[in-house]
Structure 1
């Protein structure tokens, strides 16, 4: 069973790599084509310019400069997203202190450095990990603490520790990079009289959709893997199944405040998914029923062992 699961995860990783590689190449091609059209238009409309023999070299140099600027902006976006997701540490937070001790024990079991733990004053139940240059931070919302009992909370933070042990956040950053670059290409409202800008914008939208499929393929596999690893860490797959069921019910009809808060969140590697509107190939999380079914099979195997 484990071998089949490992093969399935490997197939997802290969598929995601192929999708995101084509996306990265396509983003570069869109940029180069945009520059080539710009040079061609300039040669026609600028008096005395004409066609330059070194135009291909000019396009190549300009393309490298634009892509370098794009890479810098992508890095800034990741930094802004990290800042938006990371709440300020609360002074004398006894709950976060108790959770941190629990997380430290789980991290020791998993063989990773213990992450920090912070609680967020949010009514929607969320738990996610924010990577940083120093110590990763597991963020747990007040809504999640209210919704789950201690056993279920332990299972949820074990899921996040499993993501860290599997290095999912580092890999996900590479998976997301071409998507963020495509978002840069598609941003803005081009003037209606500018056919080149409109074409670039439409190309960017198509690339974004394609990239979202790649993210979904990879992320759904990692969620299954983190569920299984959390069950091994706690020895209690039923607790994670119960937590997922509770959180799914809690978020069935979220209040307006939840919708506004969700706008600043990341989509991948969290419990539950921060953007529940994603469905089908672009969904970052498997269907909750499928996750619970797998966990219940683990419970059955443990009972018959």
Structure 2
């Protein structure tokens, strides 16, 4: 319940930021900049200036229509992105991984996702597509590193993402972060032209040539207003993504009845999932739906699929205790965030996820003993 309230609160913040963003743009270019220019002219001629900044250039009903259109456009383009992602996947046929996913989908009562197994050493598993047409992408490297129960738990985590419609949710919510970030970057064009002229695009150079006064005024007066939007949107998107990961972990534990299997899978994958954080927000969105931050593997269909029948390596509790006490299976200190496979923009710390799964396992044992 606490997680649902948190998710609802974050979504409310994102909607509120969308409303404020539209109002801020209207006010900045419809009131503030015209007022500054007109006020400067009047002051130069008469020595006094007076204009009302506490107004909008349009009616509140028009603002409501513009906000609705802005939100609707994000939903539309976000959904189109999901459709584009869906077209990248296809079913590789009936094999052991697909059969595991089929069983998990039946347990979770969701449409069966297709499965695409790619030939890659990097352990990677993520979901693309829609609720009714999702594809789970798995690398052979992930299958080889996990035992049968761990692989089932990881796939259950992805099925939980499908059941919670997280692909669509995270794709749409990340759109506002992209828009706010680009708007703030555009507002700082004048500064970038001075500090790094080689980084200015062709369109930026045209804007500087034809609209230099407007570009300068935008940097001085509008950029400080727009700074808050990518900052808050990044926090909200990150918080939402973390909440969805915890929810998917809990759902996977419930579906499989083996919370510790997912926990040991996380500890194993965190040691090898040392990816460099991506700066492209679309890539970050995709990585948000993987079990840990992992590279988007190349399209190399696996000719032979490893059999996930390796027995568990030792007692899971002992393995987790060793990992949490200070070292991963590869001997890397758990304080090293990159070694823990954690990109805080998309995923909560692995140690926190493991502790929550341990609590779920303890609660299940307690209920079973009563």
- Of residues 276, 282, 289, the one that matches 1:269 is 289
TM-score by length of 1: 0.74
Higher helix share: 1
Deviation at 1:135, TM superposition (A): 0.5
SS for the counterpart of 1:298 is helix
Deviations, residues 187-244 of structure 1 (Å, cap 9, x unaligned): 4462345233325445444311201211222222222221121112112112101110
Which stretch of the first structure deviates more once superposed, 201-210 or 111-120? 201-210
Task: Indicate the residue corresponding to 2:30 in structure 1.
Answer: 36
Deviation at 1:65, TM superposition (A): 7.1
Task: Indicate the residue corresponding to 1:175 in structure 2.
Answer: 173
RMSD: 3.9
Task: Indicate the residue corresponding to 2:16 in structure 1.
Answer: 22
TM-score by length of 2: 0.62
Which stretch of the first structure deviates more once superposed, 179-188 or 57-66? 57-66
Task: Indicate the residue corresponding to 2:112 in structure 1.
Answer: 114
Unaligned runs of 5+ in 1: 1-5, 45-54
Mapped to 1, the partners of 2:228 and 2:119 lie a distance apart of: 37
1:9 aligns with 2:3: yes
Mapped to 2, the partners of 1:292 and 1:166 lie a distance apart of: 21
Mapped to 2, the partners of 1:271 and 1:262 lie a distance apart of: 18
SS for the counterpart of 1:140 is strand
Question: Residues 302, 74 of structure 1: CA spacing in aligned structure 2 closer, same or farther, 3 A cutoff?
Answer: closer
SS for the counterpart of 1:286 is coil
Is the 8 Å Cα contact of residues 85 and 264 (structure 1) preserved in structure 2? no
Mapped to 2, the partners of 1:176 and 1:120 lie a distance apart of: 27
Matches within 5 A, 1:179-198: 179-188=177-186, 190-192=189-191, 194-198=215-219
Task: Indicate the residue corresponding to 1:3 in structure 2.
Answer: none
Unaligned runs of 5+ in 2: 39-55, 192-211, 296-340
Is the 8 Å Cα contact of residues 126 and 270 (structure 1) preserved in structure 2? yes
Is the 8 Å Cα contact of residues 81 and 264 (structure 1) preserved in structure 2? no
Looking at CA atoms only, which structure, 1 or 2, has the larger radius of gyration?
2
Deviation at 1:20, TM superposition (A): 1.0
Count of aligned pairs: 282
1:238 aligns with 2:260: yes
Question: Residues 57, 260 of structure 1: CA spacing in aligned structure 2 closer, same or farther, 3 A cutoff?
Answer: closer
